[in-house]
Homo-oligomer: A and B are copies of this chain.
Amino acid sequence: MPSSVAVVNGGLDLLAGLVDSSQSALRNGSLSREKVNLKQLAQELGLSQTTVSRALNGFPEVSERTRERVVAAADRLNYRPSASAASLATGKARTIGHVVPLAEHMMINPHFSDFLAGAGEVYARSGYEMLIRVVSQDDELSIYRDLARTGRVDGFVVHGPMNEDPRIPLLASLGVPFVVHGRCHHSSTEFSWMDVNNREAFRRATDFLLDLGHQRMALVNGLETMNFASRRRVGFEEAHRARGLEADPSLIFSRDMVEPYGYDVGRQIFAKPNRPTAVLLSSVLPAIGLVRAMGELGLKAGEDVSIIVFDDQLSFLQQSGDGMRGVPFFTAMRSSIRAAGRRVAEMLMDQINAPGGEPAAELWEAEFVVGRSTGPAPN
């Protein structure tokens, strides 16, 4: 909220005088600002709409000479086909929908926007548009249905799947193509997905810490209703069990992955009598908060406390590679969420272009990178 608002109104009506007009510009063949439609373009060329349409859409049954003429004229008259007309005629919207609930725990966040950036690249390259619908949690399902039924989108990307996610059976029953970023426990329906091997990444990272002699470690996880977070926890616990150990449940946290979360947890766990000597975090964001808390408490990363983060390689952070001596600050499990966005979009394009195919699935292994934030357990 602004503490004060000043409103200023300028003069001048921009929009006037630019709208209507008609033949003149066409007749004299000038670069016109008017909207030209297919009919007019065809008339101008002395061709039928069919031919012009085919010429522009690269059909083989129109001669190269005609095509060139058509393209040149289209260019000169600044012709663009109406998206809605094309969509109505073909039944395709050439648009992908992303539905994002604006709730506490799945707002438009940096992870999400980096994913979008990746997906958006692919869409643009493939001639698709990206539609984003911000919704309040409760009407989420009906939004998917609406977007599909109104024909506004040809497919969806499903974000942040929960363990049992109602969106999957819904979309499957709607018969609309979709790709899930992550996985679910839905044994009943088959669907396309792309995921990082979260379980293995966290198992391995935990193992690494155990090797360094750490006994008490905390897990600063994402919301465990989300499938990725519950898998991470499993990996964490598995590594413990493999050595006959048990992860301390009081050191496992599950919240939205924001900066203050890491700070709060830090203040809390490091105040304990037998504080943990290592912390695994689901995102760099809370890790920053944790480091902030440690700074206030005089604790050093890599010495007093070892830290491993899951690094989505958020483009605006990139702490990973900028440390001193070329060694990254955070020891990390790395997997670019932007690359994931690209890949998911590609999979969806494939699915749309070759309908009726089998669902595809891809599992990426995260890279493990040792930085300066880990070291042997203090004695």
Contacts and interface: CB of A to CB of B under 8 A. Distances in A.
Contact of A150 (B81, B93, B363): B81
- From A19, A113, A257, A260, residue with most partner B Cβ within 10 Å: A113
A18 B95 CA distance: 21
Nearest to A143: B124
A305 to B, nearest CB: 14
A279 to B, nearest CB: 17
Nearest to A130: B132
A246 interface: no
Given A10-B190, A10-B358, A129 B152 contact: yes
Interface residues of A, number: 100
Interface string A144-172: 00100111100000000000000000001
A5 B116 contact: no
A9 interface: yes
A88 B90 CA distance: 13
A62 to B, nearest CB: 22
Contacts of A7: 360-363
B120 A108 contact: yes
A14 to B, nearest CB: 5
A225 interface: no
Nearest to A139: B124
A258 B318 contact: yes
Interface string A7-41: 11111111110110000000000000101000000
28 contacts: A3-B366, A4-B365, A6-B363, A8-B361, A8-B362, A10-B190, A10-B358, A11-B358, A13-B357, A14-B189, A14-B190, A14-B191, A80-B146, A83-B87, A83-B93, A88-B88, A102-B121, A109-B113, A110-B110, A116-B132, A120-B134, A121-B134, A124-B133, A130-B132, A258-B317, A259-B288, A264-B322, A291-B292
